[in-house]
Structure 1
Amino acid sequence: MEKINILIVDDRPENIIALEALLFRDDVNIVTTTLPNEALRIAWEMDISIALVDVQMPEMDGFELVEILKSNPRTKDILIIFVTAISTDTKYAVKGLNTGAVDYLYKPLNPYVTSAKVDSFIQFVRGQRELKKKNQELLDHQKELIKAKEEAEQGKRIKENFLANMSHEIRTPINGIIGITQLLEKTILTTEQAEMISLLEISSNSLLGVINDILDLSKIEAGKFKINRGPTDLIKTCRDVVNLLRIRAREKDLDLIIEMDPELPELINADSLRLNQILMNLIANAIKFTTEGSVTLRVEILDRKGNNLQLKFSVIDTGIGIAKDNIDKIFETFEQADESTTIKFGGTGLGLSIVKNLSKLKGGILEVESEEFKGSTFAFTNWYETIQSDQKRVVQKNDGALTAFEGVRILVAEDNAINKFLIIKILKDWNIDVDVADNGQEALDLLKENDYQIVLMDTFMPVMNGLDAIKLIRNGYVPGKELIPIITFSAAAMETDKQVAIAAGANDVVSKPFEQRVLHEKIMHYLDATVTL
């Protein structure tokens, strides 16, 4: 145990000897002096916790000594006990306490009272030291937490930047592959060529699906993932998912069955994209791990509360099943039931992890029942608000043909050669006159020289990126062109990247890879808006 230093200041050596005898103990270190000035030096140099100071001394009395000690930041916390033979009159006690003393001892000293008082102050000092130590530990811990938080935030920023860059670098070439595949489908092909193009499209979409799964998980972990609810055609959504996966089931000679509760509403308020994603992953997973028999999507109403329904989406298969010990493991990222499953069936192990995260974000419950070698049932349950059919939004039927434009000139800023070829080909098929820039600076130069109805701007480009070019346009870099509609192409993963583009001055954002129909609709919208203006 660390010893506590006690200073005794008295001009009479016999008084010091008497106090030393009273206070002697193993856990204290007693320092003495008969000179007040020497006492100041000792208090300055040593860590004195308690000082017993005689009041009446030559050169400097005890009151003056204590005033000097209390005025110095280094010695102000010493606990002062006055030792005096002066009258016990209240005015002297008040003067001493006002000076900074914590107590008085009166001569002749009562050994029991003296020992008890000093002992209580020793315990107080120890308590204060322990408290100070704990406070310092808390401060150190707080500093460590702040440092860890800063490191975590920096790591998060690095991860988001990496995610944005990798998203662009991967999705941009995939956009080119899928786009060119779609263009090739419209050309005259032999049966063999058509089959190869179909396989190329399936492979490209599969690759895009894996990339989107990884990006979705990263967005969920970064807290950037949002659920956007709106009117959703429940029956159509379920049938579309089943129809998309029917080819996979047919390739394995599996029956793909859909069972719908006859009382299901036509419209519910839901995030159709994420509901589609959950069902796609569950059904695709069931088909993958089922070698014979069937896969069934069953949708049923479990409960009703006013205008709300509790719906249960069950995907039932007759596949390989899951051992009880592995059920929890299958929901972990990049994990499958066991190594033999990965070897035999392949896959990333992302699908069920995404389903679990999406279910949680949507406020639903994901359950699984399985028996090894007999099959599994994955069920997603959630509450949905029903929407009356007369609230259904009017959706124009699309027969697949996109109308051509007349007298439209568009500036395209895109540095990727494949995407540039793809966009030019699509726009020219729509009878649009196109000028192309390889970067933001070239786009500004062309905008100075020519008139365009719309600018299509990639966000990531060398020399000057699209966002900087947009800001300059909006700030009047090209006089008279400040309000021209600008649509950006973005392969970024985060929702914040789209918000940044809008904040920079873009009117709209088209995500890569894009659907031709979506781009056509946006061009049509901004041309109509320009005419209205």
Structure 2
Amino acid sequence: MPDKLTNLNLLSDNTEIQTKSKKTSSILYVDDEESNLRIFKSSFRRHYSIFTAISGKEGLEILENNNIQLVISDQKMPEMTGVEFLERVAENFPNTVRIILTAYSDTEDIMRAINKCGIFRYLVKPWNKDEMLLTIDKALETYSLRTENRQLVKALKSANEDLEGKVKERTSELMATNEDLKKAKEQAEAATKTKEQFLSTMSHEIRTPLNAIIGMTHLLKNDRLEGEMAENIEILEFSAQNLLSLINSVLDISKMEAGKMAFEQAEFDLPILIQNTVEIFKARAEEKNIFLRSNIDKNIPKSLLGDSTRLSQILNNLIGNAIKFTDEGTVTITVRLLHHKTEKVELLFAISDTGIGISSEKINSIFEDFSQAEEDTSRKYGGTGLGLAITKQLVELQGGTINVMSTMMVGSTFSFQLGFKIGKIQAITANLPDATNIKNLKGVRILIVEDNKVNQILVRKFLNNWGASSQIAENGQIALDLFKKDNFDVVLMDLQMPVMDGYESARQMRLLEENTDKFTPIIALTASTLLNERERIIQVGMNDFLSKPFNPNELYKKIAQHSYTQLQNQVLQESEIKGKLNYSYFKNLAGADKDFYTELLELSEADLIEFNRILESTHLLDYETQLSLVHHKIRATLRLLEVKELEVQINQLRRMLSQGSPINQVTDRIQAIQKNIEMAISEIQEERK
């Protein structure tokens, strides 16, 4: 009987451990930037009990007085680094699971943390909320398993020495299972990384020559060729675009499988989007004597908020298929308003054709990867069978549904429903086609950083045609040397280069500009497709990116946009930041959690209000010190919101104070900064509504 009671108690204890709620788990997050502490606490306080510390010393005090299961520490901290802090934790609190936050380049720190601190895992900053949540859950699961093992061993030893063998056996099984899970996890991560790296490498190798092919076809078409030569150029361009479409389809599938397909939220004009889409397919339809028409409900608001690029991709796939599988008759694009609420509309899109149709046996499988309606479809009409699979996922990932109705030799209708928020702008010109082909970049000085000779020639030809002056650097080091000697309005930066890559070159350019009025726009030109590429580009200080092969019109728009901003920076004292805040980082961090997004905006607003209060307190004896402290506090906020002009102005003010500039100049600068801060606060308040 005692043995049975003991077993029941053990089962009860074990069940209690497994059913413990997340909220009872305590996490300590250590970082010397207060804004990072607030963001972390806001992100996870609904899931766990969060403790924060601004230094390793403060973190050790919290560990002494609280039961902490997991410690997450930043590496780069003054007085005591993350590795030094975790070494103390490992020595004094060995049961606590340890995670370190570091950068890609800190290999030695990572190895030291693994060897001396016994870390559970390292994460690269800036961290992703979903990845961090998954890592925390796995770490706490490890902590629970360790706790469970200790309790089981203690209980079994005290109950009966004869059970010692079973304890060892149980422990061994758990360790083996844990090791198997660890190996399986490592293998899965390695396989995913290998697949991602392979796709990126292959895409890079294909896109680089493809960029030259497509670029040269654009240049040749501008030469107004006629006859057979013009037809040959058309065939070349069509083939290159098909190859690019195939590459993009494979990469889209990869992103969807990894759960990293992102959707933008920007205003667009739906009628113009439909009009532009019809124009794209007009020539192809005319070649087959097909009548292509559109019918848009006039009750649909002109301005909508959503991802116009992905909507165009969906429509292009469906309209392209309709024309491909129709030999005569009509292809019709219809858009109907289903529901109209105060801030949102639900729309029905339908693409109908009079083509070959789909058999009832195949209609349920056409949305599967690499699937075709009939076995000989690919041979007769071409295609990979990826278009409809991608289309279905793009619709469903945005909360919509897609359906198909078809009759053999009569035609098919593909329809999908999507919801959009109603935009605030009544007349949108961003999506309008250029009214003229004249492009003028006269006076704009551009540094082209590119190791590929063909791409150098290609980009330079476009820039010469647009009137811009340019210099070429064959790698990041040469670019850096030129950057030190000369002033450029824009830098076009390739990423993968010998000697010094684009990431390191851009990072060092930003270091050279630190504490100066200079902020040169850097646009990344990349053939890489790694899913974290965009975050890394922004992290090192680049402003924007353009994927290879690029469209010349897109290249022109990027340069024009950023060179205009650069010219405006010459009159920063009178500049205003109204309309220039970028909320994309906060939106990506919050995901679908609207309350959390609002909270991030409120924290940013509070930081700016606090800075404004100190800015006004010129009577303080330690005014420069107080201003420096609060500037350090809001620096992360300014960086995340991309308020670059305001950051430059604050640096100017601090230099003026340190150099003892005349009081009237200091006062004018303070007033200019206050005006911009008030505009920023007003914009954030408007965004919160």
- TM-score w.r.t. the length of structure 1 is 0.71
Given the alignment, which residue of 383, 406, 409 partners 2:419?
Answer: 383
Q: Which amino acid aligns with 1:514?
A: F
- Larger deviation: 266-275 or 441-450? 441-450
- Larger deviation: 299-308 or 327-336? 299-308
CA distance in 2, matches of 1:179, 1:409: 21
CA distance in 1, matches of 2:442, 2:538: 28
CA distance in 2, matches of 1:194, 1:182: 12
CA distance in 2, matches of 1:156, 1:415: 29
User: For residues 55-94 of structure 1, what are the structure 2 equivalents within 5 Å?
Assistant: 76=157, 79=160
Report the CA distance shift for 1:500/1:253 in structure 2 as closer, same or farther (over 3 A). same
**1:77: how far off?**
5.8
Given the alignment, which residue of 403, 407, 418 partners 1:371?
Answer: 407
> Which residue is 1:280 aligned to?
316
1:515 aligns with 2:515: no
Partner-residue secondary structure (3-state), 1:256: strand
Report the CA distance shift for 1:255/1:527 in structure 2 as closer, same or farther (over 3 A). closer
1:210 aligns with 2:246: yes
**1:221: how far off?**
1.4
> Which residue is 1:344 aligned to?
380
**1:405: how far off?**
3.7
Report the CA distance shift for 1:237/1:156 in structure 2 as closer, same or farther (over 3 A). same
CA distance in 2, matches of 1:477, 1:236: 41
**1:481: how far off?**
11
1:265 aligns with 2:301: yes
List alignment gaps of at least 5 residues for structure 2: 1-152, 571-689
**1:139: how far off?**
5.3
1:453 aligns with 2:489: yes
> Which residue is 1:96 aligned to?
none
* Bigger RCO (CA 8 Å, 6+ sep): 1
When the two structures are aligned, how many residues end up with a matched partner?
A: 417
Cα deviation, 1:320-343, whole Å, max 9, x if unaligned, reads 222223223211111212322222
**1:160: how far off?**
2.0
Report the CA distance shift for 1:154/1:394 in structure 2 as closer, same or farther (over 3 A). closer
Given the alignment, which residue of 229, 234, 253 partners 2:289?
Answer: 253
Report the CA distance shift for 1:133/1:364 in structure 2 as closer, same or farther (over 3 A). farther
Given the alignment, which residue of 315, 328, 332 partners 1:292?
Answer: 328
CA distance in 2, matches of 1:337, 1:202: 24
> Which residue is 1:424 aligned to?
460
**1:496: how far off?**
2.1
Report the CA distance shift for 1:361/1:236 in structure 2 as closer, same or farther (over 3 A). same
CA distance in 2, matches of 1:397, 1:372: 38
**1:134: how far off?**
7.3
1:440 aligns with 2:476: yes
**1:162: how far off?**
2.0
**1:397: how far off?**
6.7
CA distance in 1, matches of 2:565, 2:275: 36
> Which residue is 1:487 aligned to?
523
- TM-score w.r.t. the length of structure 2 is 0.55
Q: Which amino acid aligns with 1:358?
A: L
CA distance in 1, matches of 2:243, 2:264: 25
> Which residue is 1:306 aligned to?
342
**1:359: how far off?**
0.7
- Larger deviation: 131-140 or 159-168? 131-140
CA distance in 2, matches of 1:429, 1:297: 38
User: For residues 107-506 of structure 1, what are the structure 2 equivalents within 5 Å?
Assistant: 140-387=176-423, 390=426, 392=428, 398-476=434-512, 483-494=519-530, 496-506=532-542
State whether residues 269 and 303 of structure 2, in contact with CA within 8 Å, keep that contact through their aligned partners in structure 1: yes
State whether residues 408 and 453 of structure 1, in contact with CA within 8 Å, keep that contact through their aligned partners in structure 2: yes
CA distance in 2, matches of 1:445, 1:275: 43
State whether residues 302 and 426 of structure 2, in contact with CA within 8 Å, keep that contact through their aligned partners in structure 1: no
Cα deviation, 1:142-178, whole Å, max 9, x if unaligned, reads 4333322221112222222222222222222222111
Asked which structure has the greater CA Rg, the reply is 1
**1:381: how far off?**
0.8
CA distance in 1, matches of 2:411, 2:322: 9
State whether residues 224 and 494 of structure 1, in contact with CA within 8 Å, keep that contact through their aligned partners in structure 2: no
> Which residue is 1:108 aligned to?
none
Given the alignment, which residue of 559, 563, 572 partners 1:527?
Answer: 563
CA distance in 2, matches of 1:456, 1:481: 21
**1:480: how far off?**
8.0
CA distance in 2, matches of 1:370, 1:524: 47
Partner-residue secondary structure (3-state), 1:311: strand
Report the CA distance shift for 1:412/1:77 in structure 2 as closer, same or farther (over 3 A). same
Q: Which amino acid aligns with 1:385?
A: K
CA distance in 2, matches of 1:320, 1:379: 17
> Which residue is 1:56 aligned to?
none
Report the CA distance shift for 1:180/1:327 in structure 2 as closer, same or farther (over 3 A). same
Q: Which amino acid aligns with 1:304?
A: H
**1:357: how far off?**
0.9
CA distance in 2, matches of 1:142, 1:322: 50
CA distance in 2, matches of 1:527, 1:389: 25
> Which residue is 1:95 aligned to?
none
- Larger deviation: 387-396 or 243-252? 387-396
State whether residues 475 and 482 of structure 1, in contact with CA within 8 Å, keep that contact through their aligned partners in structure 2: no
CA distance in 1, matches of 2:298, 2:171: 66
State whether residues 459 and 465 of structure 1, in contact with CA within 8 Å, keep that contact through their aligned partners in structure 2: yes
Partner-residue secondary structure (3-state), 1:324: coil
Report the CA distance shift for 1:184/1:390 in structure 2 as closer, same or farther (over 3 A). same
Report the CA distance shift for 1:217/1:396 in structure 2 as closer, same or farther (over 3 A). closer
CA distance in 2, matches of 1:395, 1:77: 75
Report the CA distance shift for 1:363/1:482 in structure 2 as closer, same or farther (over 3 A). same
CA distance in 2, matches of 1:251, 1:349: 24
CA distance in 1, matches of 2:198, 2:532: 14
Cα deviation, 1:62-109, whole Å, max 9, x if unaligned, reads xxxxxxxxxx99x946748xxxxxxxxxxxxxxxxxxxxxxxxxxxxx
Cα deviation, 1:15-47, whole Å, max 9, x if unaligned, reads xxxxxxxxxxxxxxxxxxxxxxxxxxxxxxxxx
Q: Which amino acid aligns with 2:520?
A: I
State whether residues 410 and 435 of structure 1, in contact with CA within 8 Å, keep that contact through their aligned partners in structure 2: yes
Q: Which amino acid aligns with 2:454?
A: I
State whether residues 290 and 329 of structure 2, in contact with CA within 8 Å, keep that contact through their aligned partners in structure 1: yes
Greater fraction of residues in strand: 1
Q: CA RMSD in A?
A: 3.2
Report the CA distance shift for 1:412/1:250 in structure 2 as closer, same or farther (over 3 A). same
